[in-house]
Chains A and B, each alone.
Chain A
Amino acid sequence: MTETIDVRGLSCPEPVMEVRNALSGKKTGEFTVLVSNATARDNVKRAVSSLGWKVEIKEIADGFELNLTR
Chain B
Amino acid sequence: MSREKLLVIVSGMIIGVLAVILVHLGNPANMGFCIACFIRDISGSLGLHGAEVVQYLRPEIMGLILGSFAAAILFREFKPSGGSAPATRFVLGIIMMVGALVFLGCPLRMLLRLAGGDLNALVALPGYVAGIWVGTFFLKSRFTLGKSFPQGSSEGYTAPAAAVILLVFLVMAPPFVLFSENGPGSEYAFWGVALGAGLLVGLLAQRSRICTMGGIRDLILFKDTHLFAGLVALLLVVFVGKLAAGFFEPGFTGQPVAHTDGIWNFLGMLIVGWGAVLAGGCPLRQLILSGEGSSDGLITLLGLAAGAAIAHNFGLAASPEGVSLYGQAATGISLLLLLIIGILNSRSGLSNKTNAGSSVAGD
| A→B interface (CB under 8 Å) | 8-14, 16-17, 20, 36-39, 42, 46-47, 50, 62
Instruction: Report the minimal beta-carbon distance from A66 to chain B, rounded to whole angstroms.
Output: 16
Shortest CB distance B288–A (Å): 10
The complex places the Cα of A12 from the Cα of B136 at a distance, in Å, of 12
Given contacts A17-B221, A46-B224, 16 further A-B contacts (CB under 8 A): A8-B147, A9-B148, A10-B144, A11-B84, A11-B144, A11-B281, A14-B139, A14-B280, A16-B222, A17-B140, A17-B142, A37-B77, A37-B79, A37-B81, A37-B292, A38-B75
Contact A9 B84, beta carbon cutoff 8 Å:
yes
Verify B77–A38 contact, CB threshold 8 A: yes
A-B contact pairs, 8 of them (CB 8 A): A9-B84, A9-B147, A11-B144, A17-B221, A37-B79, A37-B81, A37-B292, A42-B209
| Interface presence of B259 (CB below 8 A) | no
Q: What residue in chain A is nearest B226 (Cβ atoms)?
A: A46
Contacts of B217 in A (CB 8 A): 13
A contact residues around B144 at 8 Å (CB): 10-11, 14
Query: Is B145 a contact partner of A11 (Cβ separation < 8 A)?
Result: yes
Q: Is B176 an interface residue (CB 8 A)?
A: no
In the complex, are the beta carbons of B139 and A42 less than 8 A apart?
Answer: no
Assess whether A47 is in contact with B222, with CB atoms less than 8 Å apart.
yes
Inter-chain CA distance A14–B144, complex, in Å, is 7
Is A42 a contact partner of B147 (Cβ separation < 8 A)? no
A14: chain B residues within 8 A (beta carbon): 139, 144, 280
Count the B residues whose beta carbon is within 8 Å of the partner chain — how many? 28
Pick the contact of A10 from B147, B209, B292 — CB < 8 Å?
B147
A47 to B218, CA, bound (A): 11
In the complex, the answer to whether B148 meets A11 with C-beta atoms within 8 Å is: yes
* B93 CB-CB contact with A under 8 Å: no
Contact A39 B79 (CB under 8 A): no
Q: Complex formed: what's the CA distance from A1 to B276 in Å? A: 38
Across the interface, name the chain A residue whose C-beta is closest to B2: A46
Note all chain B residues with C-beta closer than 8 A to A13.
Answer: 139, 214, 217-218, 221-222
Contacts of A62 in B (CB 8 A): 150
In the complex, how many angstroms separate the beta carbon of B243 from the nearest chain A beta carbon? 34
B139 A11 Cβ-Cβ under 8 A:
no
CB distance from B131 to the nearest CB of A (A): 16
A62 to B147, CA, bound (A): 14
Bound together, the chains give a CA A11 to CA B81 distance in angstroms of 11
B296 within 8 A of A: yes
Asked whether any CB of chain A lies closer than 8 Å to the CB of B181, the reply is no
Contact A42 B4 (CB under 8 A): yes
Q: Tell me the minimal C-beta distance from B348 to chain A in angstroms.
A: 11
Q: Contacts A14-B139, A42-B209 given; indicate if A9 touches B81 (C-beta within 8 A).
A: yes
Measured between beta carbons, the chain A residues less than 8 angstroms from B139 are 13-14, 17
A14 to B140, CA, bound (A): 10
Please report the C-alpha to C-alpha distance between residue A35 and residue B218 in the assembled complex, in whole angstroms: 19
Q: How far is the CA of A50 from the CA of B81 in the complex (A)?
A: 29
Contact A39 B148 (CB under 8 A): no
Question: In whole Å, how far is B41's beta carbon from the nearest beta carbon of chain A?
Answer: 28
List B143-161 residues whose CB lies under 8 Å from chain A.
Answer: 144-150
Produce 1/0 per residue, B64-76, CB < 8 A to A: 0000000000010
Which residues on A sit within 8 Å (CB–CB) of B150? 36, 62
